[in-house]
Amino acid sequence: MKLLVGLGNPGSKYARNRHNIGFMAVDEIAKAYNFSPWRSRFKGQIAEGLIEGQKCLLLKPGTFMNLSGEAVREAAQFYKIPLENIFIFHDEIDLAPSKVKVKEGGGNAGHNGLKSISSHMGNGYVRVRLGVGRPELKQDVPHYVLKDFAKADQDWLDDLLRALARHMAPLLANDFSSFLSKVGQDLRPARSSQEPKSEDPKEKQKPKQPSEKQKTKSKGALGAALEKWLGGPPDKGDT
């Protein structure tokens, strides 16, 4: 079994916060793969289902962010899920909005949810880092992540969540490069079919040759101009 954990804070007050993008991710996964209804267990909310034949448990800790590890530990211990089968979806201020990175183990970069999980479980789990950007001033970070996404963010956010859910199979198989590539392709804007094709540089430099019709027309115009300048064509009776 795989354990997929979305990090966030419980309650409607925090539902649309940047800090809750992990909750949003597992909600989208549950919807995409018709998981069971959410129910209370392991100090949080869980849902069960299959992703491409792989049994998965989704978890949204209800302990608030800085105590997330308590819920993760209880769920992992009950189902005997090893660290390498635990995937944590969380907000990442060091990535631009809509950017995604995956890493296994490593530091927590000051993220309180990851700190809590590592203190209870160790560092060997997989982190799916979801970019939300960062404010200009470091002291503004707490307010920034606890603020709702702007309306202007909604399009890329919806696209990102759908792409994550659509390509879960390679992520669960630990094929991280394939997962990131597929998500990136979904998020890359499609080139407009009406966009003009770029000119071939060789064609652009090559001078266009006049057609025979254009040459004839040009000669006729030149002849007429010369006749007018010379006083017109000679009469038939002139010698």
- Catalytic center residues: 19
Tokens of 68: 């997330």
Question: Beta-carbon neighbour count of residue 110 at 10 Å?
Answer: 10
- What is the Cα–Cα distance from 107 to 115, expressed in whole angstroms? 9
H-type helices in the chain, by residue range? 21-32, 68-79, 112-121, 141-145, 154-166, 168-172, 176-187, 201-205, 212-230
Of 108, 100, 94, the closest CA to residue 138 belongs to: 94
189 class by beta-carbon count within 10 Å (0-12 exposed, 13-18 middle, 19+ buried) = exposed
105 membership: H or E segment, kind and range: none
Could you tell me which residues are beta bridge partners of residue 216? none
What is the rounded CA–CA span in Å between residue 109 and residue 111?
A: 6
